[in-house]
Amino acid sequence: MDYSKSGGAKVGKNAPRHTEHNAKGSDKNPFGAGDTSKAALLARMKAAAAARKADNAEE
């Protein structure tokens, strides 16, 4: 087999094919935006559970 024309494998560029529209640190999704604390998450989860419980109680 003639290996003179085969060439080596192309090296990966390790770059994304495109940019995401809501990437972290962009204008639409800046760093530090929103309340990401665990207490806030638990409060949202408890409110959602209470809302589901109230909906099930009505039926």
The verdict on pTM exceeding 0.75 is no
The pLDDT assigned to 9 comes to 74
Half-sphere exposure of 6 (CA within 13 A, CB side): 6
Residues 6+ apart with CB under 8 A from 22: 28, 29
The pLDDT assigned to 48 comes to 96
Which of these, 46, 25, 26, 44, lies nearest to 36 by C-alpha position? 44
The pLDDT assigned to 43 comes to 94
As a whole number of angstroms, the distance between CA 16 and CA 28 comes to 19
- In tens, the pLDDT along 16-59 reads 888 888 888 888 888 877 777 899 889 999 999 999 999 888 76
The pLDDT assigned to 53 comes to 93
The pLDDT assigned to 49 comes to 96
